[in-house]
Amino acid sequence: PCKQATAARPALQPRGPSADKHRSPAGVRAGGRLGRVSRRSRPAPPATGRAQGLQPGGGCLHSAVPAAREEPARPGREWLLPTPLPARQPTAGYKYRRAGRRRSPSPGRRARSRPETGPGPAEMSRPLTDQEKRKQISIRGIVGVENVAELKKGFNRHLHFTLVKDRNVATPRDYYFALAHTVRDHLVGRWIRTQQYYYEKDPKRVYYLSLEFYMGRTLQNTMINLGLQNACDEAIYQLGLDIEELEDIEEDAGLGNGGLGRLAACFLDSMATLGLAAYGYGIRYEYGIFNQKIRDGWQVEEADDWLRHGNPWEKARPEYMLPVHFYGRVEHTKGGLKWVDTQVVLALPYDTPVPGYMNNTVNTMRLWSARAPNDFNLRDFNVGDYIQAVLDRNLAENISRVLYPNDNFFEGKELRLKQEYFVVAATLQDIIRRFKASKFGSTESVRTIFDSFPDQVAIQLNDTHPALAIPELMRVFVDIEKLPWTKAWDITKRTFAYTNHTVLPEALERWPVDLVEKLLPRHLQIIYEINQRHLDKVTALFPNDIDRLRRMSLIEEGGVKRINMAHLCIIGSHAVNGVAKIHSDIVKTQVFKDFAELEPEKFQNKTNGITPRRWLLLCNPGLAELIAEKIGEDYVKDLSQLIKLHKFVNDDIFIREVSKVKQENKVKFAQYLEKEYKVKINPSSMFDVHVKRIHEYKRQLMNCLHIITMYNRIKRDPMKSFVPRTVIIGGKAAPGYHMAKMIIRLITAVGHVVNNDPMVGNKLKVIFLENYRVSLAEKVIPATDLSEQISTAGTEASGTGNMKFMLNGALTIGTMDGANVEMAEEAGEENLFIFGMRIQDVEELDKKGYNAQEYYDKLPELKQAIDQIKSGFFSPKQPDLFNEVTNMLFHHDRFKVFADYEAYVKCQDKVSQLYMNAKEWTKMVIRNIAASGKFSSDRTIKEYARDIWNVEPSDLKIPPPNEPRDVADDKNPNCTTQKVKM
């Protein structure tokens, strides 16, 4: 044996002709830039001496070189060496076709085929049958050989140098990290160049402040936005791995609860795609939204230790660490008021790149982590309890420990208030530092006059959680920069804008004055001053209207004095928006009516949207590619082009193709369910899906009553034809929300009875989808037939799940609430299953008085279902288990489930009827997809940019790192932007 045989073995085997024979038929990546698809088998290239792993003139196998690199191996580069299997060398690039599932890799390792203690023996995938080969038809999409070779080289380099592993001990997780670092390498040059460009051009910056960014996974989204997906797929395939299995290893970044946090993530994607100089600012929670386990039918929470294995996408920036102050007292000095004797916590920023789609722009999400200063508590321990002082550092660092798991509910805890001030104080210091800095990398302050601040800075408050930014900016301007109050207030108001996300009273933030006084004494003084000046203005306009003053005050008297944070946001902002037309109307005419009368021009609507990159290209490549075949690929950046699909509504071939893609998605999801939940479901049944946070206003209970009704109908007449359904309900309940947890328990109990009744068989199945999260949404949404959006009219601000389902070819059953109203407007009400009370009906019922008993008495099917729940039919061991639920439904149901039950069940019957006519159902699906263009977050962000932030989106493509930086102007001759200087 030669000496090299004992050297470190190469990181991974490339594939060669022998490998190609064993290729499996399942799918890979899509044509062009769009999605994941199957690939046609290609004949192996003819074997040469070198391809057979032999050096000219003989030599051992271990001295073979990779096919793409015609250079001899050198000592110290063993990680680049291949094994006996030579690499394939396709001549014309790699082609892909649409749809289908993933391929398994041929000989080599499957990412999850062995425990994490290291690889087992190489496995051989079965050869393709002739029929499977014929199925693999190629369409467009070419990837250069050089690109693939470079990715493989990067992968092996990271496995060796970053992860310090060879293939003998590497685990699937190591392979994921190697791929993530390789993809990240392609971001870095673009990221640095984008930030240099901003510093040189000094555009107006947009700062999106949010306590939540529900990002999900990053790897696949990054590959799509950089146009690397095909090349990465080919490289990983040639290395004997399965890219989907590697993608599934990534932890979700679950730094949000639901809609509000996911909206922030979609907005970041759109802001980068539209070339805005935008930054997301939030908290780097060590523990994100809890992992939900269902044990004996009950929700159990587990900590989400998402950083356990490290996060390859973030970069700590200790050089930008900033102090944040708490507690202390206010001192009157000659120079004015001073906040002294404070406790200091340091804010350490972690930056995550946010790539735009195919435009080389990479923006930054900066998340703050709390760190104790080195002298924390030590000054107080003169007695010398050094150990305790060090242990107490945890108290400071707890600020960024965990995300509060409440959605649409306010919990007035001191730690939460600390989190809110922590993110705001650190962010504003950072914004002001950047405003003052002259050029890239400079720490000198050149701007000392703040008159131009609102022309350079726009700050969007995502709900009231970052509301303390308003008094904090005033404190900086007045106490530190010594601006007069009137000028400081004018600048502050012109800088901030506020988005309201809910009208539920229990969700509005109202902080006790005593708590704010203890934690932030100077800010309380500033809030009182803001309130005084505001009330003086109201008094001048409405003299003697004491009731109006009370309603509009920032301070709520009576019982515990509280600060109304929504009022603070409205007074301190130049724009206030709701997130759907119906919601913005409620905000103006009901919730903040007095404020809208005072400053009507301030109130706007900005209907929410979703990013089509994640919610179509990434999660539904089959559909994305089918659409691209019909209307081209430009719709990815301009979703309004989907309207062109209207002309294919009656095209039989297109109808069949759309139906086929949906069926493939359903089969794939059914296999996932069978694997994860051990429940065998019928993929040709209707997939009726209700996924969102569990909350009374979202009315999962009404869905549950419909399930019981369907069950009873099957039992009553088992021989009657019944449209088979798989009802899938998923979502997390806040740990302290008892009723929401009882709702989950009821759904699991009903599911247990239905799924185990032999008389029901395949006609009806009920699945509770455990641990619903972004990565699970990406699996279930493309497979859905019917989307449930059934909140009581006037309670859901917008919803964004409704838009994701619509874009992915599901039909909607819903009330006229939130964005459902605009979806019905766009597609035509006849193309949605709309039912139930409108807002006016709810208001009338409130005036009249809602009496649940009436509905119970007059609707026999409702009565039967409720009686079964009450009698313990679904909980025979604990007959009174659900008494609280039925009691609530009869006596204090704010969301009027019984009032809409009859209309809901009738509407569901219409759904079943249409589902039996596959062609008409699919035509309605196509009409919905064609009408979903409005609901892109790109459209939403353009509206924010023009109407609120006063910035213009740019289609300028910053040159990639391998081109000179003045290329942008050559490619955009009509662009008025001045040349990018080196």
Residues marked active site are found at 501, 692-693, 698, 800, 804
Distances (CA, A) of 679 to 518, 670, 672: 54, 9, 10
Is the distance from CB of 633 to CB of 612 less than 8 angstroms? no
Q: Which DSSP string corresponds to 112-131? A: TSS-TT---S-B-PPPPPHH
What length does the chain have? Answer: 982
C-alpha distances out from residue 814 to 419, 504, 741, 792, 927, Å: 36, 19, 23, 10, 17
Give the Cα separation of 85 and 15 in Å (integer).
6
Q: How far apart are CA 649 and CA 922, in angstroms?
A: 9
| Distance of alpha carbon 623 from alpha carbon 808, whole angstroms | 8
- The sign of the torsion formed by the CA atoms of 46, 50, 56, 59 equals negative
Neighbours of 846 (CB within 10 A): 11
Q: What does the alpha-carbon distance between residue 792 and residue 815 come to, in Å, rounded to a whole number?
A: 7
Using CB atoms within 10 A of its CB, is residue 535 exposed (0-12), middle (13-18) or buried (19+)? middle
Bridge partners of 423, per DSSP, are none
Compute the distance between CA of residue 349 and CA of residue 253 in angstroms, rounded to an integer: 16
**Contact between 815 and 837 (Cβ < 8 Å):** yes
What are φ and ψ of residue 369, in 5° steps?
-115, 140
Per-residue three-class SS string for 583-637: HHHHHHHHHCHHHHHHCHHHEEECCCCECHHHHHHHCCHHHHHHHHHHHCCHHHC
Q: Which two tokens stand for residue 397?
A: 């660092």
Look-up: residue for tokens 């085929």?
113
What is the number of other CB atoms lying within 10 angstroms of the CB of residue 791?
25
Residue 702 CA to its chain's centroid (Å): 27
What lies within 8 Å, CB to CB, of 358 at 6+ separation is 33, 225, 226, 227, 637
Burial class of residue 334 (count of CB atoms within 10 Å of its CB; 0-12, 13-18, 19+): exposed
3-state DSSP call for residue 857?
A: helix
Is 353 in contact with 185 (CB distance < 8 Å)? no
- Of 2, 13, 4, 1, the closest CA to residue 168 belongs to 13
Interatomic CA distance for residues 413 and 415, integer angstroms = 6
On whether the CB atoms of residues 88 and 238 are closer than 8 A, the answer is: yes
- H-state helical runs in 457-545: 469-475, 485-495, 513-519, 521-541
Closest CA to 692 of 539, 564, 798, 608: 798
Tokens linked to 456:
């350079």
